[in-house]
Amino acid sequence: MKKLIALVKDEERTLQERSFILLAVFALFALLVMFFAGIVTGESREDIFVLGVGFVVFLSIAIIAVKYNKINEVIPLISILIVFVIVPVTFFAGGGIYGGSPLWFVFSALFLSMIVEGKQKYLFLTLDLVVAGVSYVIAYLWPDTIKEHDLKAAYVDSFVSLLFVCFMLSLMVSFEIWIMKQEMIRSENKSRQIERLSRTQNRFFASMSHEIRTPINTIIGMNEMILRENASDEINEDAANIQAASKMLLHLINDILDMSKFESGQMVLNEQPYQTGNMLSEVVGMFWLRAREKNLEFRVEISPDLPSELLGDEVRIKQILINVINNAIKYTDKGYVKLQIQCDRIENQTANVIYSVTDTGIGIKKEGMPYLFTAFKRIDEDKNRYIEGTGLGLSIVKQFVDLMGGRITVNSIYTKGSTFMIEIPQKILRTESIGALKPERYRKDSRQNHYKESFMAPNANVLVVDDTKAGLLVVTKLLRDTKVQVTTASSGEEALRKTLETEFHVILMDHMMPKMDGIECMHAIRSQTGGLSRNAKMIALTANVGKEMELLYEKEGFDGYLMKPVNGNELESMVCSLLPKNLVVITGSREELEKESMSWIREHRSKARVAVTTESVADLPKSLLEKYEIDVIPHMVVTADGVFRDGIEIDTTGILAYMRDAEAFVETDSPNVEEHETFYSRQLDRANNIIHISISSKVAHSGCIAAMEAAANFDNVFVVDTGHLSSGQGLMAIEAARLVKEGNEPEAILHKLEKMRSHVHTSFIVESLEYLARAKQVSHKVAILTNAFMMHPVLSLKDGKMVVSQVFFGEREHAWEKYISLALHTAGKIDTGMLFITYVGMKTSELEHIKKIVETKMHFEEIYFQKASPAIAVNSGPGTFGLLFYTEYE
């Protein structure tokens, strides 16, 4: 019994396994009771034999299952035994409905519900009901199949079964409740354990953050003093390298700490007003020298309409840019890295700031794209194993961007480079844009010394409290040029002694100190009897970053806080703002500092939000391509003399002249994947998103498949399979461009184009099928037959393929009129704004005649006569024209 209880309580086993053990014991006990009850009540030998065999078989299977951990494997076998053997045999041998058998159908259903999982549960429950139903039907139609009990035996059997099933049900439900309670207790214990571990981890990381930032604070602070001196270019360059390396080390520490916060669900944003110029200047300053060391050009382009002050988490935005730019430089050996920043101003004083980082590095393989933002995962690790990195950067970037309500997309061509595009919505605090600063007048060498104190206050008293000498030295030296009187204290107790002797206007207090920490010391000073600095402004110095720390310092009564390592400009700015105004002399203006911070900006080339592209086979006139700014990738025409780009190196007239020779070899071809990738990459220089309108994927030599395969490497390229060709495809390109001009987002445009697709009508009437036969689209016999009987086939697009939909006989002018009537007599209201008459090898007089026929049928605001591209002409031949239009779709 103890062993059985131990098996049931074994938490290493699943709930299903534990239920099976207990219920198997119950079921075996039930069979045993039924076996002896049958003997007592005089059941037939057959019934008793079946119960005895069932008990032995069930017991053997259960022992094997538990002993050899095969419970999951034997559950279906036991279910079959119960459903098809034990219960139905008991029903027929135990008196049918005049006994206890019906109750065992109920017990078997509950038993199956508790030990069988997944689809098997519903299968066996259904079979159990079916077997029960069939048993009842057989008993009703053929009562002789039931072994009847006498009245006494029937009552005894029914009562014993009722008692036993009730007892079993009670035990089973009690067991399930007990298990649920145990699981809840276990879950609560686990939660408490996880919470303890999380608190321990947070304390560890907080301590580690403080301990690591303290020496970095010293390095960066003292190095800033070197940069302020009028030293030689060599010293300045060395100091700049130290500064950049220290900040990168700090950035790496932040990544590790942030990953732990994300994993524990404690990451929150700290949105504050910030100067965009200062923030970008600091980011660029970290990488300028690194790029130069690798002989890379570092390009920076800032949109002139970027607001000068935004509300956002400046620290996290910098962290995002640092990670992405660092990766770009790390994986680029030649060429350039470009940071481009744009601003889409939207409603409610909000700006959608778009940061694009482009490089000419190694790019990303297609198979690596899904793992790009996975923590600790490095793409193409064998090739990049000698490049430093933790694999955390992009994972953290993605999580921060998501937390800010933005999005990040990647466009990459392996071996050619990548573009990371980050969009972050932020509130506009100052409508003045960076462009008004005209920063090009202030370009200087980034290594030159630009420091000038922002204020002077020789009569101001400042107390710095820190338990490390290095921390005290850094703050003291950074404030040296402001002429303030700086006093230092290495502990809370020493600070309290000094505040009894001197009135300090501002006190900078390190948070984490032994014995008495910064918060305790601050409260002690505020309540100090006889203290002279009870009303001093208090600034917390902390290595622990995050919104929770800001809230803590605000709650405790600090007037501000500075994050270690302390930045000289930020230190001066905060001290200046808290000192009494009568003690301060301002020596530098805010505007001058902003101008200087933006001295590295290059001339910005504005990028469109969305651009539309298509193929040369879309048959659009140059005027419309220019009006709607639609760029075209050419298809190819292949002849015995070479390969020619459609519409660029060969035109329709030339190809028709070439094809007069019946033996001339001509076929069309589409751009391959690599050519599409190059085309997309070039287009993304002018727009953030590309919508590519492609020819039907089901026509011969379609470029749609290659276009889609190439787009798989670009998060910002969307390929539309129009299901059309020629100007039918062109109509969809124009509609897409029109929707772009209305300000629609890519998703909305794609949705509307999908609706439009079935409303576009593409058809042609051809003079002869000879050219289609030469292109192997139809057989030569069919082409000869149509010519012999003066047949004029109409080719229409159906399910993306060109098929012969109609045939007209007789003179060509008569056939044209019939075709035009048929084409314009269509279901749905035709959009009369635009009609394309796309043709191959037709005279002006013939086109005028076609136009007159059209005008008698329907009025269109614009009718465009468009010569079909060579790639279309190859398959249709001279004398072909088509009416291409669309019906209203919204």
Place of tokens 């929707």: 739
> Crossing angle, helix 151-228 and helix 469-478, to 10 degrees?
50
CA-angle at 810, arms to 871 and 864, nearest 5°: 40
For 701-749, write each residue's pLDDT tens digit. 788 999 999 999 899 999 999 999 999 999 999 999 999 999 899 999 9
Instruction: Give the CA distances from residue 443 to residues 307, 595, 688, in Å, rounded to whole numbers and listed in that order.
Output: 20, 9, 28
Phi, psi of 151 (to 5 degrees): -60, -45
Nearest to 633 by CA among 617, 649, 621: 617
Q: 464: how many CB neighbours lie within 10 A of its CB?
A: 25
Sorted by sequence, the CB contacts under 8 Å of residue 725 that are 6+ apart come out as 617, 695, 696, 699, 762, 797, 802, 872
Nearest to 390 by CA among 208, 260, 547: 260
More confident site: 270 or 854: 854
Bridge pairing between strands 350-359 and 336-346:
antiparallel
Residue 505 to residue 799: CA distance in whole angstroms: 81
3 state DSSP class of 519:
helix
The pLDDT value recorded for residue 147 is 76
For 767-780, write each residue's pLDDT tens digit. 877 777 776 666 66
Query: Residue 271: pLDDT above 50?
Result: yes
* pLDDT (average), residues 847-858: 93
Domain extents in the chain: 2-190, 269-434, 455-587, 608-886
192-196, 324-328, 625-629, 670-674: range with lowest mean pLDDT: 192-196
Place of tokens 């070479």: 642
Q: 521: how many CB neighbours lie within 10 A of its CB?
A: 26
Residue 133 to residue 139: CA distance in whole angstroms: 10
More confident site: 192 or 346: 192
Phi, psi of 405 (to 5 degrees): 80, 20
* pLDDT (average), residues 797-801: 81
At 448, list the tokens: 């030159």
Residue 386 to residue 378: CA distance in whole angstroms: 12
Phi, psi of 885 (to 5 degrees): -155, 180
The pLDDT value recorded for residue 590 is 46
The answer to whether the 455-587 and 608-886 domains have the same CATH topology is: yes
More confident site: 7 or 709: 709
3-state secondary structure 364-389: CCHHHHHHCCCCCCCCCCCCCCCCCC
* pLDDT tier for residue 44 given thresholds of 50, 70 and 90: low
Q: Is 803 exposed, middle or buried (CB count within 10 Å of its CB: 0-12, 13-18, 19+)? A: exposed
The pLDDT value recorded for residue 472 is 92
Estimate to the nearest angstrom the gap between the alpha carbon of 841 and the chain centroid.
50
For 525-576, write each residue's pLDDT tens digit. 999 999 999 999 999 998 776 667 778 898 899 999 998 878 888 899 899 9
Residue 146 to residue 881: CA distance in whole angstroms: 85
Query: Residue 53: pLDDT above 90?
Result: no
Which superfamily does 455-587 belong to?
A: Response regulator (3.40.50.2300)
Bridge pairing between strands 585-586 and 560-563:
unpaired
Identify whether the C-beta of residue 454 lies closer than 8 Å to the C-beta of residue 571. Answer: no
CATH, range 269-434: 3.30.565.10
Nearest to 815 by CA among 844, 846, 785: 846
Size of the chain in residues: 890
Sorted by sequence, the CB contacts under 8 Å of residue 221 that are 6+ apart come out as 473, 474, 475, 477, 478, 565, 566, 568
For 328-378, write each residue's pLDDT tens digit. 998 899 999 999 999 988 777 899 999 999 999 989 888 878 778 875 555
Sorted by sequence, the CB contacts under 8 Å of residue 154 that are 6+ apart come out as 95, 98, 99
3 state DSSP class of 7:
helix
Residue 439 to residue 882: CA distance in whole angstroms: 56
Nearest to 578 by CA among 457, 453, 430: 457
Nearest to 606 by CA among 339, 337, 344, 303: 303
Instruction: Identify the CATH class of 608-886.
Output: alpha beta
Identify whether the C-beta of residue 392 lies closer than 8 Å to the C-beta of residue 375. Answer: yes
Residue 431 to residue 413: CA distance in whole angstroms: 38
Q: How far apart are the first and last CA of the chain?
A: 75
DSSP string, 743-807: T--HHHHHHHHHHHHTTEEEEEE-S-SHHHHHTTSS-HHHHHHHHHTTEEEEEEEETTEEEEEEE
Query: Residue 436: pLDDT above 90?
Result: no
Identify whether the C-beta of residue 20 lies closer than 8 Å to the C-beta of residue 10. Answer: no
Longest dimension (CA), the chain: 119
Identify whether the C-beta of residue 401 lies closer than 8 Å to the C-beta of residue 424. Answer: yes
Bridge pairing between strands 297-302 and 336-346:
parallel
Spell out a b/e string for 770-779, using b for 16 or more CB atoms within 10 Å of the CB, else e.
Answer: bbbbbbebbe
The pLDDT value recorded for residue 442 is 33
Sorted by sequence, the CB contacts under 8 Å of residue 60 that are 6+ apart come out as none
More confident site: 887 or 809: 887
Sorted by sequence, the CB contacts under 8 Å of residue 719 that are 6+ apart come out as 692, 694, 704, 707, 708, 711
Residue 524 to residue 529: CA distance in whole angstroms: 9
The pLDDT value recorded for residue 690 is 96
Q: In whole numbers, what is the pLDDT of the chain averaged over residues?
A: 82
Phi, psi of 16 (to 5 degrees): -65, -45
Where would I find the H helices in 579-672? 590-597, 622-627, 652-658
Nearest to 696 by CA among 836, 796, 825: 796
- Sheet of 717-721: strand order equals 631-633, 608-615, 687-694, 717-721
Sorted by sequence, the CB contacts under 8 Å of residue 647 that are 6+ apart come out as 616, 632, 634, 869, 870
* pLDDT tier for residue 594 given thresholds of 50, 70 and 90: very low
Nearest to 838 by CA among 694, 696, 733, 728: 728
